[in-house]
Structure formats: structure tokens, C-alpha cells
A and B are shown apart, each in its own frame.
Chain A
Amino acid sequence: MTGTEQETSADEHQMTGAEMVLKALGENGVKHVFGYPGGAVLPIYDEIHQQDEIEHILVRHEQGAGHMAEGYARSTGKPGVCLATSGPGATNVVTALQDALMDSIPMVCLTGQVPTALIGSDAFQECDTVGITRPCTKHNWLVKDVSELSQVIHEAFHVATSGRPGPVVVDIPKDVQFATGTYVPLNKAPSRKSYRPAKTGNSDSIHQAIELIKNAKKPIIYSGGGVINSGPEASTLLRDLVKLTGSPITSTLMGLGAYPASGKHWLGMLGMHGTYEANMAMHDCDVMVCIGARFDDRITGRIDAFSPNSKKIHVDIDPSSINKNVRVDIPIIGDVTSVLEDMVRIWRADASDLKEERLADWNAQINQWRARNSLAFSDNDDVIMPQYAIKRLYELTKDKDTYITTEVGQHQMWAAQFYGFEEPNRWMTSGGLGTMGYGFPAAIGVQVAHPDALVIDIAGDASIQMCIQEMSCAVQHGLPVKIFILNNNYMGMVRQWQQLLHGNRLSNSYTESMPDFVKLAEAYGGVGIRCSKPSELDDAINEMISVDKPVIFDCNVATLANCFPMIPSGKAHNEMLLPDEATDEVVANAIDAAGAKLV
């Protein structure tokens, strides 16, 4: 293992483990690595120093490295790569790994480990990285022999990016990084027989699905993050399918942008903070086509009252998503692109004579729901309403090459409701795990991949403080990310739930001693902007856009605004709380005892 018997040292494939890491990353198309050094990865850092094919972005906390890799991946469709040392380095990326697992983000995380001889001895900075990360990765490896290292890294990229994408960890003991062995090139790496993700969907099922949609009187398409993951082609095909079938379409938080927000058939997002029209249409439809989404509890609301009268078609690459929360009538297991290709082709061949007029009644009904204007909010001349702020941000940035990330809370929901996404891969948010602290590092990852784009993290005053240290990373690497804080001086979403559920007793949801965000930006070497008047907002936003440095924009908004519409927990899609009905009394009584026990 130590490579004493290397007679063929002239062989170009003989190299150290650390060299293999760099070579394997290069062969897998990696251009950027987000990382933080430490004892157990020093050999790899030494190699990083001696080459310039792969750029290393030095983060300030390994959680940041993980979220940056996620943002990078989500905005490019390519895997994001992060690198951390053993022990605390590895444990610090755990949040990002679980985040990537829940949102199916392809990510390869390399960690250093103590030398193999010390494993199990409670050595300095030892932790059981594969043990800790087993449940929060798609797969992970501890590489104990340098002769396996290159193949494992190739396999890691394959597993992370194929099938339902996800995070993987390769844990590399320090002696393996030093040892010399034979590099196996990517095209010679054997593939594993036990891992064969589905690609094409069952043709009979697809035909049955088309038959159902053809005969539907009240169809709806409900798409999700799987469409984005499947690649830009999937979004194009989804648009074709909507156009051909004339079906209205809604999407999960993760799926925004696959179908354009300006599109004629767009209902807005569905779910807990989705629009009235989207949720009512989900409830009343007769055929539901779920494409690359997974009937998460934030989407379905009360499950036994979920869309009671519809036949359900579910397209998903992961067989375990089928029938997990909701029983479906026609499961189609396959890659969304491939299945949509088939659906579009079959529709064109079999049903091109069907006109959208056949859905006139359904569309009329939907228009009635639309007229309810469920995203209404009362504007104000003196204070900036958070919804207004997002609307203005959208208007002033929509014609630019813009990418939006978010933190978690009310601001995230307002961003989803009021920022219109026209293209896939433009919207990065922590959906499944709901990780405060995700948005800013994710934005840095996006900016690394798209240096000339306008990248904005729509943030909350509480969330932004979870990974604020990455300002230093953004400044160091010249990444002009914009942080747009909807500063309501509260953990707004927590406060809203306390109002809904706990008699408005605001236990620990008020943020005392808020930092001066303008000074904070300046302290890091960025630019700070503050705005608290609606009349000054546009100018301030334009100023933010024009600055070629990281900016923290402290947008002081109404402190007690609630995020509506809302399906209170334990309620069904047709029991939404709408903004104009949400008096204090209604809000206080919206959730019953059973609902209060739910998350």
C-alpha cells in the first residue's frame, strides 16, 4: 500500500493519492472546489497549490462549502464539490449533506480522515465520518487502499449525478493521500452491477397516462424539482406538454421556473403558502399529473382530504417515491426528460385534434379562483411591505441575468410568491430541510459558476446571521453577491406560528441586539445599503445592482406582516386562510388541537 514496489515509476498512472484526487476531479469535469484545510487534508491542499486547472474557493465554515457546492450544482446542473478536513470539518458539512439529500442535489464531498492505522483509536480530530454521514448521503466510501481511490472518486461522481441525484462522501485517510498507487482513468473504471437507475418509463403506463389526460375534464399538472434536476430539456418538454394538453400547471417550491411564471397556464405555486387557485385546482381536479415531485406534507396538507376525486399519475425516477405518501393510479418510473419526450410524442400522434376549448368550464372555474386574488396585501406609503419589496426587486432585476437564492422563513415564501421565475436553474432554495443559512453560501456558489450574473440572496434578518461569515469568502474571491435582507426584526415565520398556535406569546422569536448590517458589510470589505421608505426603495435597489462588490442590503420592512395565503397545519387544500379573511381572531383560531401537534 505504501507503494514500495513501484518498478514502473515512469508510468504516468503511478502517483500519490493526493495527486489522484486532483486528477480524478479534473477527469470528472470539476473546475471549482469549495473547501477549508486542516491536518487530514494537507496532502490534497499541497496538490491544489501546485496546479491551476481547478480553482479552490476558501470558505469560512465547512457548512458554507457544502451550501456553495449546492448552489453551484443547482444553477449549473453539474455536481458541486466540497472538501473538508477530518473530525470537525466533516461534522460541519453534515447540514449541507442532509440539505442536498432532501432536495436531490448532486454533490461530491471529500473529507480527510486520520491515518488508517489510527482509525478507531479516538485519534486527534477523528470522527466516524462514514457512520455519521451514512443516513445523510446517497452513498459514501471510506477508502483504505490507494489502489481503489481513483475508481471510488469516479464512482462517487456517477452515483451523485445519475438516477435521483444526491450528495456522496468520499472519506480519505491521510496515509492514503500520501501513498503511491496506480491511477485508473475514468473510461477504464468498472461500473457497479447493483446500481442501475431507471431511465425510460414503461411505455404501456405512459400510454395509459395519455389516455387519462385526453379524457380529463379537469386536469392539472403538478411539477417539482425533479424537472429541474432532469436538465433544461425537461423544462422545454414540460412547456410543450402544457401547451399541447392545455392543462393548467402548478409547481412545488423546488420546481419554480420549469414552467414560466408569465405562462398562460400558470397557477402559481401550490402547498402551504401556495395560491388559492393552485390549491383549489389540486383539490378539485379529476386527473393529476405529478412530474418530478413527491407529495411532501407541505404540498398535500391533510392527506386524507388530498385531492379526493382525482386519478393520479406520478412520474418519478425514484421508485420509493411512488405510493409513499399518496397512492397513485399510474406510476411511471423513469427520468422526467425521457418520460416527457414519450408523452409529448404520443400526444402529438394521438391527440393533436383535441382543442383547449374542451377545458373551457375548468378554466372558467380556475379564473373564478384566480379572481379571489389570494396574494393580495395592503400596501403602505410609510413602511415597506415585504411583499412590495420583492415585487420591486423582481421588476428591477427581471431583465437582467439574475439568479435568486433564499434563506428560510417568511421572506422565502414571499420570494416564491412574488418573484416570477421564467427559466429553470434560476431559483435556489432549501426546500426539504428548510435550512436557515443556506441562501448566502448558495449564492456564492452560484456566483462562482456565473461570474457575470446578478446573484441575489433574499434573506431574513435571523437566517443571514447563520452563515454571515462567508462575506469574507465573497470579498476574498471578488464575488459580488447581493444579500437582500427583508429585515422585520423577527424570526417572522416563527412569530407567525406563535401567533397561530401559541396565543401570540412570542417566545424567543424577537431578535434583540440586531447587528448594524451596513457597518457589518463595511467591516467585511463589502458595501452596506439601508432603506426603510417605500419611496426610496427603487433607487436603493438600483444602487445595489450597480455595485460590483458584495452588498448587504438592509431592507427594513413591516415587522408584523404575516405570510398568506396559508393552509393551516392539519387542514385540506380547500380550507385555506386567505389574506383578506385573516383577522387576528381568525388567525388565533385557525389551527385546532390536532393540527397543533403537527410540524
Chain B
Amino acid sequence: MNAQQKPTGSAYFLSNIEQETVFRTLSVVVDNEPGVLARVIGLFSGRGYNIESLTVSETQNERHLSRITIVTSGTANVLEQIKTQLERIVPVHRVVDLDQKAKELGYEKPIERELALVKVKGEGNDRMEALRIADAFKAEVVDANRDHFIFEVTGRVSKVDQFIDIMRSLGAIEICRTGITAMNRGSDGIWGK
């Protein structure tokens, strides 16, 4: 998306002190009200931040809270800005950097999962091969007739990527992915203990 490598803001960044770009998964808890997603997305596009993946859904209906999971990339400075800028949005309750939190908890990464639907059209050997691969990936057949399957595959992003790659060579004609949803291990919730 709006790729921007440099730090934000000033027209006076003449120096290119290159900082390493890293990926981060953020969990953003927001009031579920009209326009809240537009505020979050508008912040990213308006300030030139990257969105690699974004998912959103109401998670606590009694409190009208939604949880947005955003995978973003940037230098440490940019990531710090993204977090504080998000926290400025009035209906945003909390922004948790899941990667940072995972490290604090002693894990390498948070748990991240994605679901994909993959429609594969084919005949003969390719069709059999697709079924075998699906089985190996524990993908489920959710629809089929004599010349197509729709597989549902869930798991880590790398697994979904790999599955889709293989299916491409076996006649995948339509692919749809949910984007990443994520949380941290351990008994603490997003609000803490």
C-alpha cells in the first residue's frame, strides 16, 4: 500500500539514517460504532503507513467492542508513531503490539492464524493430486462437483501461502483469504490479568 520508508512528518528529513523495517501485528480494541474502521484506515493512508493485513469483527457485543487486527511494517520510529496515533482516535480503547507483548511473555511470536478458501478446477491427475495435498494440509472440502473443489484451509500464514502456491499449479482459479487474526499465549487477556 502506501509504502513509506522514511520517518514521518517533517519535510526536513534530509538524512537517510536507514532503520530496519520490521513487521508487527497490532490488536486494536475499539468501540463498535459507525465510521470507526474508516478512522483507523484513514489514519494509515493519511500518514503514509503500511497495511499488510487488516481484519475486524465485533468481539464483545454486550460492550459493543470490536477488535481490529492489523499487520503493519515500518521502522521502530514509525511503529511507535502508529501506536500513539491510533491511541489518539477517540473510540480506540487500547492498542497492543502483539509481537512486543509476546516477547515480554517469553514467546517468539503471538499466535497468528488465517483462513483461506481456494477454488480449484481440474481433471484427472491434477484433481487427485489436489485432494492429496488438501489432505496433507488438513484442508476441508467445502464444495465440490466433478470438475472443481473449494478447499477451506486454516493455519499459520506460511502454511496458507504454501497451500495456495501448490494449488495454483493444480488449477486454482479463485482465492480468498481472511487476513490475519491473532492473540497472545498465556492466561492473560488483552486487558491484562
> Which A residues fall within an 8 A CB radius of B?
130-131, 134-135, 138-139, 142, 159, 192-195, 296-297, 300-304, 318-320, 322-325, 327, 569-570, 594, 598-599
Contact = CB atoms under 8 A, between A and B. Distances in A.
A131 B38 contact: yes
Interface stretch (B90-98, B129-137, B143-151, B173-181): B90-98
A300 B93 contact: no
25 contacts: A134-B35, A134-B39, A135-B46, A139-B89, A192-B31, A194-B30, A194-B90, A194-B91, A194-B93, A296-B10, A300-B10, A301-B12, A302-B14, A303-B10, A303-B14, A303-B15, A304-B13, A304-B15, A320-B85, A320-B88, A323-B77, A569-B12, A570-B14, A594-B14, A598-B11
B118 to A, nearest CB: 35
A297 B9 CA distance: 8
B55 to A, nearest CB: 20
B4 interface: no
B8 interface: yes
Contacts of A304: 13-15, 17
A302 B15 CA distance: 9
A195 B17 contact: no
Contacts of A131: 38
A213 B90 CA distance: 35
Q: Which of A131, A135, A304, A320 is most buried by chain B, counting CB atoms within 10 A of its CB?
A: A320
A324 B7 CA distance: 8
B84 A297 contact: no
Q: Which of B7, B11, B30, B88 is most buried by chain A, counting CB atoms within 10 A of its CB?
A: B88
Contacts of A322: 84
Contacts of B10: 296-297, 300, 303, 325
Nearest to B13: A303
B38 A320 contact: no
Contacts of B31: 192, 194
Contacts of B92: 194
A130 to B, nearest CB: 6
Interface string B59-89: 0000000000000000001001100110111
A320 B30 CA distance: 18
A139 B90 contact: yes
Interface residues of B, number: 30
Nearest to B33: A141
A598 B11 CA distance: 6
B192 interface: no
A302 B12 contact: yes
Contacts of A598: 11-12
B81 A324 contact: yes
Contacts of A300: 10, 12
B88 A318 contact: yes
A300 B90 CA distance: 30
Interface in B1-38: 7-15, 17, 30-31, 34-35, 38
Contacts of B89: 139
Interface pairs A-B: 9 shortest CB-CB: A304-B15, A320-B84, A139-B90, A297-B10, A194-B93, A319-B84, A297-B12, A303-B12, A598-B11
Q: Which secondary structure characterizes the binding site on chain A?
A: loop
Contacts of B91: 192, 194-195
A84 to B, nearest CB: 20
A134 B42 contact: yes
Contacts of B15: 303-304
A147 to B, nearest CB: 15
B85 A325 contact: no
A322 B88 CA distance: 13
Nearest to A195: B90
Nearest to A296: B10
A263 to B, nearest CB: 30
A451 to B, nearest CB: 35
A599 B11 contact: yes
Contact of B9 (A130, A135, A324): A324
A194 B34 CA distance: 15
Nearest to B65: A194
A272 to B, nearest CB: 11
Contact of A570 (B7, B12, B88): B12
A570 B87 CA distance: 32
A159 B87 CA distance: 14
A139 B39 CA distance: 9
Contacts of A594: 14
Given A297-B11, A300-B10, A320-B84, 17 more contacts: A131-B38, A134-B39, A139-B90, A192-B90, A194-B91, A195-B90, A300-B12, A301-B12, A303-B10, A303-B12, A303-B13, A303-B14, A319-B84, A320-B81, A323-B80, A325-B9, A325-B10
A194 B90 CA distance: 6
Contacts of A302: 12, 14
Nearest to B17: A304
B87 A320 contact: yes
A105 to B, nearest CB: 16
Contacts of A135: 42, 46
Contacts of A599: 11
A134 B93 CA distance: 18
B84 A134 contact: no
A82 to B, nearest CB: 20
A304 B10 CA distance: 12
A264 B92 CA distance: 45
A301 B35 CA distance: 37
A322 B10 CA distance: 14
Nearest to B93: A194
A2 to B, nearest CB: 21
Nearest to B86: A320
Contacts of B14: 302-304, 570, 594
A131 B35 CA distance: 8
Nearest to A130: B35
Contacts of B7: 325
A324 B77 CA distance: 8
Nearest to B43: A135
A318 to B, nearest CB: 7
B8 A324 contact: yes
A246 B34 CA distance: 52
A401 to B, nearest CB: 37
A139 B91 CA distance: 9
Nearest to B46: A135
Contacts of B12: 297, 300-303, 569-570, 598
